[in-house]
Amino acid sequence: MRPMTPPRLWDAVVVGAGPGGSTAANLLARRGRRVLVLDKAAFPRPHIGESLLPGVNAVFERLGVFRRLERERFWFKTGGSFIWGRDARPWSTHFVQKAEVFGYAVDERATFTWHVDRERFDAILLDEARRRGAAVRTGVEAVDADARGGRVRSLTVRGADGRREVLRAKVFVDASGQAAVLSRLMGWREPDPQLRSSSLGAYFTGARFFTGALSSRVFLEALPDGVALWCALAGGRLAVHV
């Protein structure tokens, strides 16, 4: 595929090259739209959020990455185990069984998901968006937005070399997650006093994992002031988030 000549007006500029941004770019590019994806970080880059849900498997099929994810041999997951509620004894749930539920046949894809290594996972999604025709620029930071008339009309970005560029598009998509890049630049971001919380995450090696049926589940425990999540990863790594 020949490099895309940057248009004077993009159909869509997507801020954030994580799963949300890659998904938006993939689907737009499939429709023949001229799409540009921007991210401040260089890829592949580390990120937390490894535990998926089976509901996204159908999305992976639509994006064209499901078979690729299967080949990556991420940690297989079929449900969750919990220490939660008044009873301190652990209990477990399965997503669904390969039988009929409420009289409807269950899609095979609804029975499992994965714990993913986000560096590899995010890169797979971004590579597929690029393969579908989206332009991708990493190491680029959005620094200003023109929002005359109550809508984003242009975005000023700064590259790793310090040079600035003004980008224009019919649609700007903020897929930057908690960074809320466009909302912050527009002054639209408002904190919710009921959601004043924080989290810590760390990765460990050498942990002893559960065996048998428990090995394919995420583990969560309710704490007096929050929640702890243990997530086994391929290669003998353990992700812990509190």
The 10s digit of each residue's pLDDT in 84-114 is: 988 888 899 888 765 455 555 556 777 899 9
Question: Could you give the CA distance from residue 103 to residue 55 in angstroms, rounded to a whole number?
Answer: 19
Residue 3 has pLDDT above 60, yes or no: no
Q: Are 170 and 11 in contact (CB under 8 A)?
A: yes
Task: Report the half-sphere exposure of 63 (CA within 13 A, side-chain side).
Answer: 27
79: part of which helix (H) or strand (E)? strand 79-83
Question: Could you give the CA distance from residue 218 to residue 187 in angstroms, rounded to a whole number?
Answer: 38
How does pLDDT run across 174-197, given as a tens digit for each residue? Answer: 999 988 898 888 888 888 888 888
Residue 239's pLDDT is 94
Distance of CA 146 to the CA centre of its chain: 27
Helices and strands (H and E) in the chain: how many = 5, 16
| Strand ranges of the sheet holding 35-39, from the earlier edge strand across to the other edge | 135-138, 35-39, 10-15, 164-174, 154-158, 141-146
Burial of 63 (0-12, 13-18, 19+ CB in 10 A): buried
Between 210 and 109, residue with greater pLDDT: 210
Nearest Cα to 175, choosing from 124, 128, 136, 119?
136
Q: Are 14 and 21 in contact (CB under 8 A)?
A: yes
14: part of which helix (H) or strand (E)? strand 10-15
Question: Could you give the CA distance from residue 59 to residue 62 in angstroms, rounded to a whole number?
Answer: 5
What DSSP line would sit under 154-200, residue for residue? Answer: EEEEE-TTS-EEEEEEEEEEE--GGG-HHHHHHT-----GGG-----
Burial of 146 (0-12, 13-18, 19+ CB in 10 A): middle
How does pLDDT run across 49-91, given as a tens digit for each residue? Answer: 999 999 899 999 999 999 999 999 999 999 999 999 888 888 9
Burial of 97 (0-12, 13-18, 19+ CB in 10 A): exposed
Residue 102's pLDDT is 55
Q: Are 63 and 29 in contact (CB under 8 A)?
A: no
